[in-house]
Chain A
């Protein structure tokens, strides 16, 4: 059983390496053919740049700044969205009061707030954090509401029959039952706020991965640009992996659903 699992993992790792090797070879050939190191550097040049940036820690500095901003934004977003989502999911009346406002704001993407936010916050830490909090807020809120609504009615009725006070019903029945849906929502929130960080930093921050990408583009140092783009992808992937692991740890009974975005 375990040897089979190991063999299967080794097999898929092999396929991964093989596919990426083919991709890199095609890239190298196209780079040879283009023969313009600024337009399309070879993969080797990009790996050298990546190693250099990692060696003098510049890569990790910007990555750390962007990651820190995302953690702060998600913390703020969750603190606002989860209690609101719980109350909206539990009270139909509250839902009817607040839902239209949410639906009016939701189609306005976080990125569309950037020019206005530049006025309010200026260039600095506050702007990306605001944009990312906004971007992460809606998926978390909607997921929490859907999770609460999806709680089996019979569980709540059973608890009520046994005379459990409402507050305890929320903390011991509703929250645990809604948790799997909430973790999926958190994953979507991470994805959408990570997308927003790049745009926000590209335009309105003096540091971070988005800023670094743009800085090196202006210097026409394409290998460095590609290194930072790769770092955006790697860190985004690791964040997703982290949230998924957190979900498995908190809700071992839930199926690991693949998000549709």
Chain B
């Protein structure tokens, strides 16, 4: 983004007072479109005279109701716990595998074809098999999440481990460190930033996958699945036609995705200040 700075400096007013108004104008510009869209939505919804038609005010009311009854927090906690379980499984498999692939050439040559063959298969495509093997409960959802999160972590770990300066490795080897020790004290710290990027991408993918998995389980297993935000959305769609509540769930899905991403970004910066933005 460094190429954008000249324009930014050019538009930036020089004095402090102007600087403040610049910020205010900027925020005003940013808020204008979302507010206009909300107002338009509200007006169109009110004009249609349909009580079911979702409008922002009814969505807010539905949100308050869902939060107060505890249904929405409960569903989010359930989905999040599945995401964390699947994510932990994926990380526990993918990081060691990625480190081994990235630091030993022959392992990479032999394992990479298998990884690359499965990578284009979307996690949701595995869902029918997961249902067949593990039923419609938490285990199937965790498997989907783990599968989805595995690939970004392994690919970025390999990339991180491979791009270590050979000088560091040679220095460690010269000092007579055994291979396992080299991996622990040289490869892992150097690959950390790249692993962090992989984990962050994987978390986003995992959250998308859990919503899809719960939704599809709800849709295809005759509502016999077990909870979570995706399942909740499907129930609002199929059984108690509540568009306002569906929109509340969509917003919740977006907010959780945003918070997870920000938390991981912040966590990485805290743990690895050397890694850059």
Contacts and interface: CB of A to CB of B under 8 A. Distances in A.
B51 interface: no
Contact of A222 (B132, B249, B261): B132
B171 interface: no
Interface string B54-75: 0000000000000000000000
Nearest to A38: B132
A106 B229 CA distance: 18
Nearest to B213: A199
B121 interface: yes
B95 interface: no
Interface in B242-261: 243, 246-247, 249-251, 253-255, 257-258, 261
Residue from the set B30, B33, B120, B215 with the largest chain A CB neighbour count within 10 Å: B120
B3 A108 contact: no
A39 interface: yes
Nearest to A115: B237
A20 B253 contact: no
A18 interface: yes
Contacts of A105: 254
Given A209-B125, A217-B131, 17 more contacts: A15-B110, A19-B110, A38-B132, A96-B26, A97-B32, A101-B37, A104-B34, A107-B258, A108-B250, A111-B211, A149-B1, A150-B3, A194-B120, A203-B220, A229-B128, A237-B120, A240-B120
11 contacts: A19-B112, A108-B253, A109-B257, A112-B211, A119-B241, A119-B246, A194-B122, A195-B123, A198-B125, A199-B216, A260-B152
Interface of A: 12, 15-16, 18-20, 23, 38-39, 92-93, 96-101, 104-105, 107-109, 111-116, 118-119, 146, 149-153, 194-195, 198-199, 202-203, 209-210, 213-214, 216-218, 220, 222, 225-226, 229-230, 232-234, 236-237, 240, 258, 260-261
